[in-house]
A = this chain, B = another copy of it.
Amino acid sequence: MTFDATPVLAAVAGGTGHDIPAFLLTLAAILVGAKLFGELAERIGQPAVLGELVAGVLLGSSALGVIPAAGPTAEVITILAELGVLILLFEIGLETDLREMRRVGSSAVAVAGVGVVLPFLAGYLYWSNVPHGMGDPTTLSTAAVFIGAALTATSVGITARVLSDLSSLGSTEGRIIIGAAVLDDVLGLVILTVVSGIAAGGSVSPYGVARILAVAVGFLVVAIAIGGWVAPRLFTVVARMKDSYATPIIALALSFGLAALADLAGSALIMGAFAAGIIFARTEQANAIEHRVRPVGALLTPIFFVSVGSSLDVNLLNPMRPGGASLLLVALGLTALAILGKVAAGYAAPWARFRRLAVGVGMVPRGEVGLIFADVGRRSGLLTDDVFSVVLLMVMGTTFVAPPLLKLLFRGEPSGATPEPAR
| Binary contact track A68-87/B, C-beta < 8 Å → 1, others 0 | 00001001101100100110
Known: A85-B2, A263-B4. A18 touches B376 (CB 8 A): no
The answer to whether the Cβ of A132 comes within 8 Å of any Cβ in the partner chain is no
Which residues of the other chain, B, contact A32 by a CB distance below 8 angstroms? 250, 253-254
A–B pairs, 30, beta carbons within 8 Å = A1-B155, A1-B156, A2-B367, A2-B368, A3-B269, A4-B189, A4-B263, A4-B269, A12-B199, A12-B380, A15-B379, A18-B79, A20-B260, A21-B263, A22-B260, A24-B256, A24-B257, A24-B260, A27-B256, A32-B250, A35-B241, A35-B243, A35-B249, A38-B243, A48-B243, A72-B75, A243-B423, A249-B298, A293-B295, A296-B299
Contact between A189 and B241 (Cβ–Cβ < 8 Å)? no
> What is the total number of residues of chain A having a CB less than 8 Å from a CB of chain B?
94
In the docked arrangement, what's the CA distance between A246 and B39, Å?
A: 9
The answer to whether the Cβ of A408 comes within 8 Å of any Cβ in the partner chain is no
What are the 10 A-B residue pairs with the smallest beta carbon separation, nearest first? A4-B268, A31-B253, A13-B379, A21-B260, A28-B257, A1-B185, A245-B298, A24-B260, A28-B253, A12-B196
Contact between A27 and B253 (Cβ–Cβ < 8 Å)? yes
In the docked arrangement, what's the CA distance between A299 and B155, Å?
A: 27
- Interface class of chain A by DSSP: helix
In the docked arrangement, what's the CA distance between A250 and B157, Å?
A: 23
The answer to whether the Cβ of A153 comes within 8 Å of any Cβ in the partner chain is yes
Q: Among the interface residues A72, A249, A375, which one has the most CB atoms of the partner chain B within 10 A?
A: A249
The contact of A369 among B1, B189, B293, by CB within 8 Å, is B1
The answer to whether the Cβ of A292 comes within 8 Å of any Cβ in the partner chain is yes
Chain B nearest CB from A191 CB (Å) reads 10
The answer to whether the Cβ of A163 comes within 8 Å of any Cβ in the partner chain is no
The contact of A200 among B12, B23, B85, by CB within 8 Å, is B12
Residue of B nearest to A73 (CB): B79
The contact of A254 among B14, B20, B28, B423, by CB within 8 Å, is B28
In the docked arrangement, what's the CA distance between A243 and B268, Å?
A: 31
How many copies of this chain sit in the oligomeric assembly?
2
The answer to whether the Cβ of A226 comes within 8 Å of any Cβ in the partner chain is no
The contact of A189 among B1, B24, B254, by CB within 8 Å, is B1
Known: A32-B253, A270-B2. A20 touches B296 (CB 8 A): no
Known: A7-B263, A12-B380. A270 touches B1 (CB 8 A): yes
Known: A2-B270, A270-B4, A296-B299. A79 touches B260 (CB 8 A): no
The answer to whether the Cβ of A193 comes within 8 Å of any Cβ in the partner chain is yes
The answer to whether the Cβ of A372 comes within 8 Å of any Cβ in the partner chain is yes
The answer to whether the Cβ of A162 comes within 8 Å of any Cβ in the partner chain is no
Q: Among the interface residues A14, A34, A82, A271, which one has the most CB atoms of the partner chain B within 10 A?
A: A82
The answer to whether the Cβ of A252 comes within 8 Å of any Cβ in the partner chain is yes
The answer to whether the Cβ of A353 comes within 8 Å of any Cβ in the partner chain is no
Contact between B263 and A20 (Cβ–Cβ < 8 Å)? yes
Chain B nearest CB from A203 CB (Å) reads 14
Which residues of the other chain, B, contact A21 by a CB distance below 8 angstroms? 259-261, 263-264, 269
The answer to whether the Cβ of A242 comes within 8 Å of any Cβ in the partner chain is yes
In the docked arrangement, what's the CA distance between A264 and B48, Å?
A: 33
Segment 192-220 of A: residues with Cβ below 8 Å from B: 192-193, 196, 199-200
In the docked arrangement, what's the CA distance between A34 and B245, Å?
A: 11
The contact of A20 among B42, B253, B269, by CB within 8 Å, is B269
Residue of B nearest to A302 (CB): B249
The answer to whether the Cβ of A230 comes within 8 Å of any Cβ in the partner chain is no
Which residues of the other chain, B, contact A9 by a CB distance below 8 angstroms? 196, 372, 375-376
Residue of B nearest to A89 (CB): B2
In the docked arrangement, what's the CA distance between A253 and B34, Å?
A: 11
